[in-house]
Amino acid sequence: MVKNADPIDISSMTLAEIAQAVADKRLPPVAQWNPPHCGHSAMQIKADGTWFHEGSPIGRPAMVRLFSTILRREADGGYVLVTPVEKLDIDVDDVPFIAVEVNSEGEGRDRRLAFRTNVGDVVIAGPDHPLRFVQFEDGPRPYLMVRAGLEARMARPVYYELAQLALDEGGDPVGLWSDGAFFPLEPAA
């Protein structure tokens, strides 16, 4: 069962400590649960990562973290909250999570980037957790695969930090390596 502990602070941790924290976290097996659909949850996740129920923000971070552990992306692209006995739709404006912190260790091909989301997930970018950049009218938006189709959009300061790391390395194309995978910081054509 998932513990509702306070989110960890990755800013002072080594990547080895972060990797261990990721390995220690156990999530419910939502992919294995196939209960009947029971309707809509009356919940919404706004583009800024704020969770709402019946139009009011959910003010308890521990409650949001708990709900985030039973969130699942369906094959049709929709989102549901799922337990062993029920499945409820949830509206998601963009993606469900926001990457609010990044920790970089190493340089070039040896770099590893660890991210913490607004709900306390910790993810090391790499082949199983890729970064992608999508061009919108207001500029590029960076995303990180957190788990099983659930993504986090980078908070602006995190994106700027990534961009500065990439510019400091001076590669062509501009991008970053993490856990053996290269991620260009330009949106795919």
What tens digit of pLDDT does each residue of 49-105 get?
999 999 999 999 989 998 998 999 999 999 999 998 999 999 999 999 999 999 999
Do residues 135 and 189 lie in contact, with contact meaning Cβ atoms separated by under 8 Å?
Answer: no
Looking at the DSSP bridge assignments, the partners of residue 124 are: 114
| Residue 4 banded pLDDT, cuts 50, 70, 90 | very low
- Distance CA(172)–CA(23), nearest Å, equals 34
Is the pTM above the cut of 0.75?
A: yes
pLDDT on residue 26 = 66
Write the CA distances from 38 to 21, 23, 47, 67, 154, integer angstroms: 34, 33, 25, 16, 32
Domains belonging to the chain, first-starting first, are 10-92 (3.10.540.10), 97-170 (2.30.270.10)
Using one digit for the tens of pLDDT, what is the confidence trace for 121-146?
Answer: 999 999 999 999 988 888 888 999 99
pLDDT at 129: 97
Q: How confident is the model at residue 1 (pLDDT cuts 50, 70, 90)?
A: very low
Mean pLDDT, the chain, whole residue set: 88
Please give the Cα distance from 117 to 123 (Å, whole number).
8
